[in-house]
Amino acid sequence: MPLPLLRSLQTGRRWRPGPVLRPAVLAAGLAATLLHSGHLAAQAAPAAPRPTQAVQARAGMVVSASAIASQVGRDVLAAGGNAIDAAIATGFALAVTYPTAGNIGGGGFMVVRFPDGRATTIDFRERAPAASRPHMFTDSSGAYSARLHHNSHVSVGVPGTVAGFELAHRKYGRMAWRGLVAPSAALADTGFVVPTGLAASLAGVRNKLGQYEASKAAYYKPDGAPYAAGERLVLRDLGQTLGRIRDAGRDGFYRGTTARLLAAEMQRHGGLITEEDLARYEAAEREPVRGTFMGYDIISMPPPSSGGVAMIEMLNILEGLPLKSQKPDSPQYLHWLAESMRRAFRDRAVHLGDPDFNAIPVAELTGKDYAATLRAGIVADKASVSSPADVRQGYESDETTHYSVVDKDGMAVSVTYTLEAGYGLGAVVDGAGFLLNNEMGDFNGKPGLTDSTGLIGTAPNVAAPGKRMLSSMTPTIVARDGQLVAVVGSPGGRTIINTVMQVVLNLIAFDMPVQQAVNAPRVHHQWLPDRLTVEREGFAPATLDALRAMGHEVRVGGQQGTAHSIAIDRKTGARLGAADPRDRDAGAAGHN
């Protein structure tokens, strides 16, 4: 199917004569582009020094947002578990130690590459409950309600994490399920020492979580004070729920006590999820979306994520440009990035949604021919126009988490999962101790409603019973000549796709060691609003001036994503774990 191009993308505007482009000045090179701020909201403690070296191990590696959770996964690898086992154990541990995004009440995606080169994905994205309707986020007068869409029990999707882990384990795991959940049940039950990032984060979300009694009781002291770093946090109800999952598998979550508690929570707060919705939830195994870039194989998540498709579309556009003639912080390169992003995000908005409900032209969008057409519309030194109408796609928060696992045999697992906003809805299920997602906010707000406040109402991503909401999560694996090269991913709403792509570009086009590829500063463009956001630390003022002179609206923003990645040393085969320093509690844990 030929894909229509936006005419406006092919011509530039707002061009004004500017200074002659000059190579960016990065005084001390990328090593000086320190990104000190942490991922979490409140930033009380000084940031840890930024690592310049990845953690090395011969056999296995886990890198996640929580050093405690990475260690849980690493121990599973050391005990003979494979990368799937370790990913499941790490995921359950993050639900305890990284409550901002680690979860059993949310959902996500897992991309797996086996040692023989085959690959698969597990889709455990949340689904809309059976009572969902296209107009479910409108109030009694028919007006769109952001509160219903993002901040009410109606915004909770049927969680997928436990079913996704169970499916991955049943098909590809090696160790007994019990042993994968038990460490997390114990962590919650006996407590863990609160790390600095979590302490700061919980202090910062006191008002949000404080709206719900069960959240207050779980995450704050009896007098309402937050836990300080170094104190012990015990999560007893969560420990009980994890115990049920440990003992009964997915039924410990989707049936019986946990399901009853969740359904009762919904009834008390006007939510839609019923015990039947829970019992009917199924995760799905899907073929990965694949592309190639400069001789490397890119294996990523297909719809209902937009991530893999959009990233491969962008990489295809960029592959035809002389990337190696540029520095990764040069205005010319950043302009190419912005123009590729603009085009792919436009296609994301138009074409992508749940593949079980839409025909999606994946092959066309990820094809080299289509990319060539798009590339031809890029003007070397001036910004295109996104659209005559100032339309954006709506709210997405910045709180998800990604982790990467490689085992001794070379099996690689890339997992990104989320509650959507930080701590999801902020509501802990009373009696069950886990946080609920607010993922329904990733559906379009109202059919046909596309307006300048940032809403979009195109058909592929309108809510319907059982449907999965469109995601940007981009867990990705890179290989070459049959060998594993890297495992990458990130949180960050729509910025995820661009963050992951830039780590991949840094590794492949600029040959950076993995820790530098992760640390390097990043940019984001998402078609609309028509602006290029750059991380505060890392780009020289002259670079930003040069981009503005090309017609880009450049906005300096905070940190973009946290891409906990693993690369394989080409010569030695060592696993190189690069925790992203933008996440304060992150850690890489290897075993030899």
Just list the catalytic residues. Answer: 400
Nearest approach in angstroms of CB 310 to ligand DON is 11
237 is an interface residue for ligand DON by CB under 6 A: no
DSSP 8-state assignment for residue 81: -
Distance (Å, whole) CA 422 – CA 493? 11
> Given candidates 400, 498, 516, 543, which one binds ligand DON under the rule CB under 6 A?
400
State whether residue 49 is helix, strand or coil. coil
Nearest approach in angstroms of CB 201 to ligand DON is 13
414 is an interface residue for ligand DON by CB under 6 A: no
CA-based radius of gyration for the chain: 22
Does the bond joining 491 to the residue before it have cis omega, within 30 degrees of 0? no
Closer residue to ligand DON (CB): 114 or 395: 395
Q: Which stretch binds ligand DON (CB under 6 A): 17-25, 57-65, 357-365, 393-401?
A: 393-401
396 is an interface residue for ligand DON by CB under 6 A: yes
493 is an interface residue for ligand DON by CB under 6 A: yes
> Given candidates 196, 240, 340, 418, which one binds ligand DON under the rule CB under 6 A?
418
Distance (Å, whole) CA 422 – CA 437? 9
Nearest approach in angstroms of CB 231 to ligand DON is 26
445 is an interface residue for ligand DON by CB under 6 A: no
> Which amino acid, 10?
Q
Nearest approach in angstroms of CB 568 to ligand DON is 26
Number of residues that bind ligand DON (CB under 6 A): 16
What is the secondary structure of 329-349 as a DSSP string? T-HHHHHHHHHHHHHHHHHHH
Q: Which stretch binds ligand DON (CB under 6 A): 58-66, 217-225, 390-398, 566-574?
A: 390-398
Q: 31-60 mask for ligand DON (x: CB under 6 A)?
A: ------------------------------
Q: 473-492 mask for ligand DON (x: CB under 6 A)?
A: x-----------------xx
504 is an interface residue for ligand DON by CB under 6 A: no
> Given candidates 75, 126, 237, 420, which one binds ligand DON under the rule CB under 6 A?
420
Contacts of 263 (CB under 8 A, 6+ apart): 273, 274, 275, 278
> Given candidates 86, 413, 496, 546, which one binds ligand DON under the rule CB under 6 A?
496
207 burial type by CB count under 10 A (0-12 exposed, 13-18 middle, 19+ buried): exposed
102 is an interface residue for ligand DON by CB under 6 A: no
Q: Which stretch binds ligand DON (CB under 6 A): 27-35, 243-251, 392-400, 521-529?
A: 392-400
> Given candidates 398, 407, 430, 583, which one binds ligand DON under the rule CB under 6 A?
398
CB atoms within 10 A of CB 367: 17
> Using an 8 Å Cβ cutoff, are 431 and 237 in contact?
yes
Distance (Å, whole) CA 360 – CA 458? 14
> Using an 8 Å Cβ cutoff, are 23 and 330 in contact?
yes
> Using an 8 Å Cβ cutoff, are 563 and 580 in contact?
yes
Token output for 156: 């909770």
Q: Which stretch binds ligand DON (CB under 6 A): 287-295, 396-404, 460-468, 526-534?
A: 396-404
442 is an interface residue for ligand DON by CB under 6 A: yes
Q: In sequence order, what are the beta bridge partners of 220?
A: 226
472 is an interface residue for ligand DON by CB under 6 A: yes
What is the secondary structure of 25-82 as a DSSP string? --TT-GGG------SSS---SPPPPPP-S-EEESSEEEEES-HHHHHHHHHHHHTT--
Distance (Å, whole) CA 184 – CA 166? 15
State whether residue 59 is helix, strand or coil. coil
Pair type for strands 483-488 and 107-113: unpaired
Please give the residue ranges that form the binding site for ligand DON (CB under 6 A).
Answer: 396-400, 418, 420, 439, 442, 471-473, 491-493, 496
